Structures are given as structure tokens and as C-alpha cells.
């Protein structure tokens, strides 16, 4: 019995160390970890088996494109080298996916600030894009942005970024903590700077309306101004949102596209 188990383990190791399996395992480790966190692909409403199939069918063409690099890096690799490679590739893929996901998290923050500034922040809705509940209109903004990412084919740019990542972070590369932190900080800077630029008109609108009615309330304290200010803020806030919604989504898609193509 012991001898049979030993032979089976040896056959398994030999199977893992074949060049074809190593190529697929190396690319799938980075690709699968990235798609596990990447916005849109990692949505919990997508079945796990479907996400697994997507990762596998993205892996196969990447293996064909990276054949020479993979052969050069994986030649004469041992089982301990394969274990270290899988761990490093999973970490690299998770980092790449999280850098893109930060933009969606930043958009959630900006959308919540927008709907609060126009007076409908207390209308909560179910979780759509993430696990946490957001105001209903914030869910609409985030879900619309995710849908537009696929409609304008930016998800192909995300996959292209996976291919380009092998040029900057080759196999068997241990990611330096300072490098990962720098990339994280840069992604946070770009995402929240973009969302702040998008949400500033709405924040200024809410501030001006509330200040105006505040002064009016001081001038006529006997009049319940609140019953006039709330409908005014909501109506004109929704009208203003409808007027600039195309510019809002265009600005977000432009900033996100510049990040995934140049970042």
C-alpha cells in the first residue's frame, strides 16, 4: 500500500512538472487571482463555476502568447519552485485586481456623497455591486458604471493589462512591499481624485441650496422653510443629476480607462 501511494505521488509530481501543465498553472494562478477581485468579473451573483470557466478560457490564449517567456522561466523547475511560483503569482494577480477594484470602491463613496447632497441619501437599497447596502441611487450609479465598462469593451483592456503585467513583473518575481504600497497609494490617489472631480458639482449644489434656505430661515424664522427646502433640493437635485449623468459616466470611464491602459 505504501509503495503504491509513493508511485502515485511521483506520477503526480511528474505530471505537474510537464511543460504544458506548468505553463497553464503559472498563467492561471495570476489570472484566476486577478479575476477573483476584478470589478465585474468577481460579482457574487456570477456563479463560481462560470467565473472558473472565464478564468480558464482567458488563461489559454495568454499561455499561447507567453509561450517563449514561460519556457525560459519554467525550464528545469522543481516542485518547490512551482509552489513558490504559484504563491507569488496569486499575490501579483490579487494586487492587480485590487488596484482596479479601488476605482469602483471610490465611485461608491462618491455616489453616496452625491445622493446625500441632493437629499435622498436615506433611501437605502439592497446590495447590488458590493456586499454592503448603499442608497438606491448610489447603487444605480455604480451598477451603471460597471455595465458601461463592459459595453465600451474596457474589460478587454483589463485582460490586456494581465498580458502586459508579465513584461513588468515576470514569473518568479517576489513583489517588493514598497512597490506594492506605491501602486496602492497611486491607485487611491487617481481614483479618489477622479471621483472628487465628478462629485464636486453635486456637493456644491447641495451646499448652495442648504446655505440659501438657511439664510432664508434666519430672515423668516416663523416660516417652516424645511418643508419647502426638502422638495426643492430633491426635485432640482434629480433634474441636475439627469442633466449631467452622461458627463459623469464619461468622466469616470475616461479616468478608469487611462488607469488600466497606462497604469
Note the pLDDT tens digit of each residue in 187-238. 999 999 999 999 888 888 888 888 887 787 777 777 677 777 778 888 888 8
pLDDT confidence bin for 9, thresholds 50/70/90: very low
47 backbone φψ class: left, alpha, beta (φ>0; ψ -120 to 50): beta
Q: What percent of the chain has pLDDT over 90?
A: 5
pLDDT (0 to 100) of residue 5: 46
What pLDDT digit, counting tens, does each position of 93-113 carry?
A: 898 889 988 999 899 888 888
- Burial grade of 169 (CB within 10 A; 0-12, 13-18, 19 or more): middle
pLDDT (0 to 100) of residue 245: 85
User: For residue 35, how many C-alpha atoms fall within 13 Å in the half-sphere facing its CB?
Assistant: 24
Rounded to two decimals, the pTM is: 0.82
pLDDT (0 to 100) of residue 64: 85
CA angle 187, 190, 195 (to 5 degrees): 120
CB–CB of 104/39 below 8 Å? Answer: yes
Which of helix, strand or coil describes residue 134? strand
pLDDT (0 to 100) of residue 7: 46
pLDDT averaged over the chain?
A: 81
**pLDDT of 8 strictly over 60:** no
Higher pLDDT, 44 or 49: 49
Of 32, 31, 25, 5, the C-alpha closest to 81 is: 25
**Cα separations in angstroms, 189 against 68, 87, 116, 185, 192:** 36, 28, 23, 6, 6
Contacts of 34 (CB under 8 A, 6+ apart): 93, 94, 96, 97, 162
Q: Which three cell numbers stand for residue 72?
A: 525560459
pLDDT (0 to 100) of residue 4: 46
pLDDT (0 to 100) of residue 129: 60
Domain-wise residue ranges, the chain? 2-262
CB–CB of 170/69 below 8 Å? Answer: yes
Question: 67-74 vs 19-37: helix axis angle to the nearest 10?
Answer: 110
pLDDT (0 to 100) of residue 12: 47
pLDDT (0 to 100) of residue 195: 92
CB atoms within 10 A of CB 20: 10
CA distance 149 to 258: 13
pLDDT (0 to 100) of residue 229: 77
pLDDT (0 to 100) of residue 14: 54
Amino acid at each position: 500500500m505504501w509503495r503504491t501511494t509513493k508511485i502515485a505521488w511521483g506520477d503526480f509530481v511528474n505530471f505537474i512538472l510537464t511543460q504544458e501543465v506548468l505553463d497553464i498553472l503559472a498563467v492561471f494562478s495570476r489570472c484566476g487571482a486577478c479575476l477573483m477581485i476584478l470589478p465585474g468579473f468577481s460579482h457574487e451573483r456570477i456563479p463560481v463555476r462560470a467565473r472558473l470557466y472565464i478564468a480558464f478560457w482567458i488563461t489559454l490564449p495568454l499561455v499561447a502568447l507567453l509561450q517563449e517567456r514561460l519556457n525560459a522561466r519554467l525550464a528545469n523547475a522543481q516542485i518547490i519552485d512551482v509552489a513558490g511560483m504559484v504563491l507569488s503569482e496569486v499575490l501579483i494577480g490579487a494586487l492587480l485586481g485590487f488596484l482596479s477594484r479601488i476605482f469602483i470602491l471610490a465611485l461608491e463613496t462618491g455616489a453616496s456623497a452625491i445622493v446625500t447632497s441632493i437629499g435622498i441619501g436615506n433611501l437605502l437599497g439592497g446590495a447590488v455591486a458590493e456586499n454592503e447596502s448603499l442608497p438606491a441611487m448610489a447603487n444605480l450609479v455604480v451598477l451603471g458604471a460597471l455595465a458601461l465598462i463592459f459595453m465600451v469593451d474596457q474589460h478587454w483592456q483589463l485582460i490586456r493589462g494581465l498580458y502586459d503585467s508579465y513584461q513588468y513583473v515576470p514569473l518568479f518575481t517576489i513583489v517588493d512591499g514598497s512597490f506594492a504600497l506605491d501602486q496602492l497609494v497611486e491607485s487611491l490617489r487617481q481614483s479618489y481624485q477622479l471621483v472628487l472631480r465628478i462629485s464636486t458639482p453635486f456637493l456644491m449644489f447641495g451646499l448652495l441650496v442648504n446655505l440659501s434656505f438657511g439664510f432664508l430661515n434666519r430672515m423668516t424664522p416663523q416660516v417652516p422653510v424645511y418643508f419647502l427646502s426638502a422638495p426643492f433640493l430633491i426635485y432640482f437635485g434629480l433634474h441636475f443629476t439627469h442633466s449631467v449623468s452622461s458627463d459623469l459616466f464619461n468622466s469616470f470611464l475616461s479616468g478608469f480607462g487611462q488607469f488600466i491602459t497606462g497604469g
